[in-house]
Amino acid sequence: MTAATIPDDRALRDPGGACLADERQALDNAGFAATVSALAAVFAAAGLRPGGVLAIMLPTPSRACSPRGGSAPPSRRSTRR
């Protein structure tokens, strides 16, 4: 088994089993595998091929989400008081 085959492997073993959930939706194993396949098709249509590189840019966390109330990572915060 590889990371690339996990969604299909899980869908074959237990299609209705719980896979992922958040406040917006819940996906069983079959639904997750279908979503992964659909996203893979979008990437393939854009020219991404197996072995290619994909970069994902995530949003910067807000001040409220930061562990110390600031938006910069701990290594970039000033240590002066």
In a domain, 67, yes or no: yes
14 alpha-carbon distance from chain centroid: 21
In a domain, 1, yes or no: no
CA–CA distance from 28 to each of 14, 42, 50 (Å)?
9, 21, 26
Domain range enclosing 68: 6-76
Place of tokens 């290594």: 75
pLDDT, tens only, 24-34: 999 999 999 99
pLDDT, tens only, 35-68: 999 999 999 999 999 889 999 898 887 655 555 5
In a domain, 11, yes or no: yes
In a domain, 81, yes or no: no
Q: How many independent structural domains does the chain possess?
A: 1
In a domain, 72, yes or no: yes
Question: Does the reported pTM lie above 0.85?
Answer: no
